Amino acid sequence: MLPGFSYTRPETLKKAVEELKAAEDAYLHAGGTDLLGCLHDGVFPAGKVVSISALKGLQEVRKLSDGGLLIGALTTIRTLETDADIGARYPVLSQAAAEVASPQLREQGTLGGNLCQKPRCWYYRGEFDCLRKGGKECFAFNGQNQFHCILGGSACYIVHPSDTAPALLALDASLQVSGPQGERSLPLSELHVAPNDDPRREIYLEAGEIITAIKLPKPAAGLKSSYRKIRARQSWDFAVAGVALALVMDNGTVKDSRVVLSGAAPIPWRSQKAEQALQGKPLNAEAAGLAAMEAMADARPLEHNAYKVPMFKGLIKEELLKFIAD
């Protein structure tokens, strides 16, 4: 049985923002698959649950007049996986969605919730008073850290659990956010909080703010994209290592690229070093190998996760080379 909480399910966005703003211990419920798990495991208490599942208009997937795509925050992961337009124009996103959790959870989990989900570190989810939960130390640093980060760690060493976030970052997505001050647009690259900025916070949303939609720009001519994830077991699992690629190709040459890693860092990790290694180069084994090396240039593995470094190198190189075979 979950600990008690009060519950409200407003029918307007304005009311939802007000309800969320009104209590400090209020949490949004979209599909509930992450929130209820956290409450069940006592990761944090919720005094109040504000369900946004009755809000209209947040489920739509709509092509924009500029050729981009608007994805309502309540769109399920399953819709992302199966939408034909997404599959054709943004394969990295449908491939990432297909890798998320299990069929049941993909039916229920939403894109907004997937971007805002809490970390999966076993100390954070377990009965440890860890730094992220307000305690003094990160237990992973000197503990069981085989699935923890190799890049971007400091103070806290989680990996970001989302598969959709790296895909959306590779596509230069932005978020539409509604809050007490009205609407604003936020690049997805500015949503997630790195632990050296604040190890107790995952996302930069202000009190009462709700993501209403995710916007993708029109795919550039020559865009090729893909997502690949390695996990410890085949049925369902979070990424041990993953890579979202979006390359703009021009006659076999890389005009522009995004290389974003999952399972690597406390936030979805854009590797600008790998991107620079590809910039303006013909896409061949040499360029792919160099980009893979560069992606790992700053890696600082912990005691039990050094295996991830060669794993990422192989993964990135292999995925890049698939674009040549196409």
Partner 1 sequence: MPENTGEHDCSCGKGLTRRGFLSTAGATTALVAVSGRINVNVAQAAASEITSEDMAKITLDINGRQQRLLVEPRWSLLFVLRDRLGLSGTKVGCERGECGACTVLIDGRPRYACMTLAVEATGRKITTIEGLMNGEQLGQTQQAFLEEDAYQCGYCTPGQIMAAEGLLRINPDPTSEQIATGMSGNLCRCGAYPHIINAVNSAGAKKRN
- Binding residues (CB under 8 A) for partner 1: these are 1-11, 15, 19, 29, 32-33, 36-37, 40-41, 48-49, 51, 53-54, 78, 101-105, 107-108, 234-236
> Using CB distances below 5 to 8 A depending on partner kind, what does residue 5 bind out of partner 1, ligand FAD, none?
partner 1
Least distance (Å) between residue 170 CB and ligand FAD: 15
> Using CB distances below 5 to 8 A depending on partner kind, what does residue 242 bind out of ligand FAD, partner 1, none?
none
What is d(CA 131, CA 15) in angstroms, rounded to the nearest whole number?
34
Please answer whether residues 232 and 190 qualify as being in contact, where contact means their C-beta atoms are separated by less than 8 angstroms.
Answer: no
Give SS3 for 322.
helix
Could you tell me the two tokens for 231? 């996990």
> Using CB distances below 5 to 8 A depending on partner kind, what does residue 72 bind out of ligand FAD, partner 1, none?
none
Near ligand FAD by CB under 6 A: residue from 16, 29, 94, 269: 29
Least distance (Å) between residue 278 CB and partner 1: 32
Near ligand FAD by CB under 6 A: residue from 123, 139, 157, 238: 238
> Using CB distances below 5 to 8 A depending on partner kind, what does residue 294 bind out of partner 1, ligand FAD, none?
none
Please answer whether residues 174 and 186 qualify as being in contact, where contact means their C-beta atoms are separated by less than 8 angstroms.
Answer: yes
DSSP 8-state code for residue 286: H
By CB under 6 A, tell whether 110 contacts ligand FAD: yes
What is d(CA 19, CA 8) in angstroms, rounded to the nearest whole number?
8
Near ligand FAD by CB under 6 A: residue from 10, 37, 68, 217: 37
Distance of CA 229 to the CA centre of its chain: 13
Choice between 65 and 235, CB closer to partner 1: 235
> Using CB distances below 5 to 8 A depending on partner kind, what does residue 8 bind out of ligand FAD, partner 1, none?
partner 1
* 243 beta partners: 228, 261
| Residue in the structure block whose two tokens are 């020559």 | 222
> Using CB distances below 5 to 8 A depending on partner kind, what does residue 199 bind out of partner 1, ligand FAD, none?
none
What is d(CA 259, CA 166) in angstroms, rounded to the nearest whole number?
9
By CB under 6 A, tell whether 264 contacts ligand FAD: no
Helix residue ranges, H only, the chain: 13-22, 35-40, 77-82, 84-89, 91-98, 103-108, 111-116, 122-125, 164-170, 272-278, 285-295, 308-325
What is d(CA 178, CA 22) in angstroms, rounded to the nearest whole number?
15
Residues that bind ligand FAD (CB under 6 A): 27-35, 37, 73, 77, 100-101, 105, 108-110, 112-114, 116-117, 161-164, 205, 210-211, 236, 238
